[in-house]
Each structure stands twice: as structure tokens, then as C-alpha cells.
Amino acid sequence: MRDVIEWPVTPASHLDTALVSGQALTRDFQVGTQTVQALQGVSVQVRPGDRIALLGTSGSGKSTLLHLLGALDTPTSGTLSWPALGAAETLRPGKVSFVFQAQSLLPPLSALENVAMPLILDGQDTPSALREAQDWLERLDLGALAAQLPEELSGGQAQRVAVARALVTRPRLILADEPTGQLDSVTAQHLMDVLLSVMVPGAALVLATHDPAVAARLDDVWHLQGGAVSQITRSDRGTV
Ligand code: ADP
Ligand code: MG
């Protein structure tokens, strides 16, 4: 009789562990004598597999919230932790990646070198980092552009390179700050196709946008207004 092989099963409690959890987050900025309250008590939980859009007009606090979730900034008050990922200083590069709006590629480096950079910063040897970077460029239909400098790429191509760079470390949490903000609507939807198709199952995406058509591509939409979440809707199931 053959042995019954039991695959290791990840306990449900582990799958439920939040990647990032924030309670009553506020962030004040001092501008001269004035205090700008960019976030006014936002509580968030991002879990494996979540696809969340932060939808709001300019100045509603989207970037501020993303920066807190990725430990690029610290809250003025409230608590923030990464239960499934560890301490803030261990998150980048590797477990948490950012995609920014535009012009975030390092200008003197080729597309290939830009994509390899997070792996090299993470301690991987350069030849294998470059090989993995080339694989990612090919997956995103950018293989032929590996040697190009950022200034030689179109806006859509540059953003796809930025997506490859964000995904090359196989992060658990991807934070995208208006990644389609500089793209026309067709190119924007193509970037969303690419981003969603290469997401590793179990990774989570939080994407800030002011474009409802982009937000509609994700599962949950958090409406930000004046530094607070005014409403949460589920793209396919109506308001929750
Ligand atoms: P969004 O990304 O939705 O456009 P932000 O998070 O960038 O909004 O900004 C929210 C508010 O905080 C705005 O009023 C903005 O002017 C202010 N703000 C953001 N960053 C800073 C900063 N570094 N210094 C001063 N004010 C800031
Ligand atoms: Mg912003």
C-alpha cells in the first residue's frame, strides 16, 4: 500500500494574519504655523489576497496612507504593525514593494538594471539578479527593451518596468500610488491587466487612484475624503 502523502497545510490562522494592521491612524504635517491633518483616524487591515483601491480626489490622503502602510513614514498617532511580515525595518526591499506614479526608475540604469536593483539590494549576486530581472521583463512583454534607458521608454512601458521592479522580489504586499496617473485610459487599463495577471496568489495589492474605472478593477474600494475613509464598497457586490 502506498504511503498517504499529506501536504503541509498552512493553518487558517496564518492565512488570516494581517499583512498590515493600522488603528486610528492620524498624520499631521506642519506647514509654517498651520497644521494639515492629512489623515484623521483611519483604521485598516490588509490581508493576503486583498485587492484594495484607495479612491479619492487629490489631497484626500491616499499617498499619506500608502506611505504609512509601507513604513516610508510614521503616523502622528495610532498604531501600525505588520503581523505577518515582521518589524518595519525588515519590510523593504523584499516583503513590501511600491509602484509610484511616474519617473521612479533610476535614469542612468537600463530597464534590466532597474528591475534587478531590489534583488541586488537584498543581497542576491548580480548575475542571478540580472537573470531573474530578464525573466520578469519577458513576462511583461518587455524583453526587447532590457537595455533601454528609462528616457527611451514610453510612459506605459516605463510603468510596466516599474511593475516588474516591484514584483521581482515576490513581495507579500504591493503598494501602488496612482501607477496609471500619467497614462491615457487604454494604456492605464493595459497596465492594470498586466499588474493583476502577474500578482502572486496570496499577495495583496493596495492601489491609490482618483480614477473610478481603475478602482473598479479591484475587489474593494475604500473611498477617502478629507483624510478619512468615508465609505467602503465592494466592486462586485455593491456597498458593504
Ligand atoms: P493624495 O495622495 O490623496 O493626493 P496626500 O496624502 O498627498 O493626498 O495629501 C493629503 C494632504 O496632506 C494634502 O492636504 C497635502 O497637501 C498634505 N500633505 C501631504 N504630504 C505633505 C507634506 N510632506 N507636507 C505638508 N503637507 C503634506
Ligand atoms: Mg497622492
Ligand 1 centre to CA of 61 (Å) is 6
Q: What does the pLDDT read at residue 202? A: 87
For residue 161, the SS3 value is: helix
Under 8 Å between Cβ of 204 and 49: yes
**Termini Cα distance of the chain:** 51
DSSP single-letter state for residue 199: P
The residue whose C-alpha atom lies closest to atom 1 belonging to ligand 1 is: 59
Q: Are 110 and 148 in contact (CB under 8 A)?
A: yes
Task: Tell me the average confidence (pLDDT) per consecutive run of 10 residues in the chain, 240 residues long.
Answer: 44 69 96 95 94 96 97 96 91 88 90 96 94 93 95 92 92 94 88 88 93 93 94 66
pLDDT at position 145 = 96
Ligand 2 center from residue 156 Cα (angstroms): 19
Which atom of ligand 1 is nearest to 31's Cα? 25
Indicate the DSSP class of residue 2.
P
Q: Is 38 in the pocket of ligand 1 (CB under 6 A)?
A: yes
Measured CA to CA, the distance from residue 107 to residue 149 in angstroms comes to 7
Question: Quick one: pLDDT at residue 234?
Answer: 86
- Amino acid at residue number 206: V
Question: Helices 126-139 and 111-121 sit at what angle, rounded to 10 degrees?
Answer: 130
How far is residue 175 from each of residues 69, 87, 110, 135, 221, measured CA to CA in Å? 8, 17, 23, 22, 14
The 3-state secondary structure of 96-133 reads EEEECCCCCCCCCCCHHHHHHHHHHHCCCCHHHHHHHH
Return the H-helix or E-strand segment holding 35: strand 34-46
CB-ligand 1 contact for 35 (6 Å cutoff): no
Handedness of CA 209, 192, 82, 103 (dihedral sign): negative
Atom of ligand 1 nearest to the CA of 224: 3
What pLDDT, on a 0 to 100 scale, did the predictor assign at position 26? 98
- The residue contributing the CA closest to ligand 1 atom 25 is 29
pLDDT at residue 15, as a whole number: 53
Compute CA 22 distance to the chain's CA centroid, rounded to the nearest angstrom.
Answer: 16
Q: What DSSP element (H or E) covers 46?
A: strand 34-46
Task: Return the residue matching grid coordinates 521592479.
Answer: 165
Q: Does domain 2-11+42-83+90-235 sit in CATH 3.40.50.300?
A: yes
